[in-house]
Amino acid sequence: MRWNCRKHRKTKDRGGWRKLHLGVDDKGFIVAQTLTESTGDDAAMLPELLSQVDAPVKRFTGDGAYDRRSTYEQIGEPGTEDVVIVVPPRWPATKSAAAEGPWAQRDRHVEMIDEVGRQAWQKQVGYRQQARVEGTFLRYKRTLGCALQAREFEAQTKESMIGSNILNRMLELGRSDSVAVTG
């Protein structure tokens, strides 16, 4: 027990950590973002993220946290039958008995993983685009730091929005061209 806790007979509540949820387009621009408490569930934040996107979603790539029927139903709403949903099924996933609509895409993914393996599936369906989002988190942390400076949650939310706008502006100004050098 720390001295401060013993002295004041209570724990020092620091508020915990925050979780930043991002929606990134195919060019790497942040098109949606929301900040939650550390207990914030990725899939539960999807409706809020989708409401921030102006253009219709043609492709959704998410990590395994989005492997839920609700994700497929929200993204594949009526009128969006042509949307491609790429979310790795949890292991060991099985096919549904009566999959229809967007949920049938998940069954095709499960089937393909059984046939060719998870690595080959990632390559064939373009799941590696998920790395673009992970790269955005890396850019955010390297450019703006790993910690939020604001103390109150509302101010932290605004700080994360400003950070997202800064990254988008930097991306507008230009991205460096990387060339592999072989010797």
Q: What is the pLDDT of residue 93?
A: 72
Q: What is the pLDDT of residue 31?
A: 94
Q: What is the pLDDT of residue 78?
A: 62
The count of other CB atoms within 10 Å of the CB of residue 22 is 18
SS3 content of the chain, % helix, strand, coil (to 5): 45, 10, 40
Q: What is the pLDDT of residue 1?
A: 41
Q: What is the pLDDT of residue 71?
A: 87
Cα–Cα distance between 100 and 65 in angstroms, integer? 21
List CB contacts of 132: < 8 A, sequence separation 6 or more. Answer: 24, 26, 28
Q: What is the pLDDT of residue 162?
A: 95
Structure tokens at 51: 């409401």
Q: Where are the alpha helices (DSSP H) in the chain?
A: 3-8, 46-51, 69-75, 103-116, 118-125, 130-144, 153-173
H/E run at residue 35: strand 30-37
| Average pLDDT per block of 10 residues along the chain, 183 residues long | 54 70 90 88 89 88 87 77 84 75 84 89 87 88 89 93 94 81 81
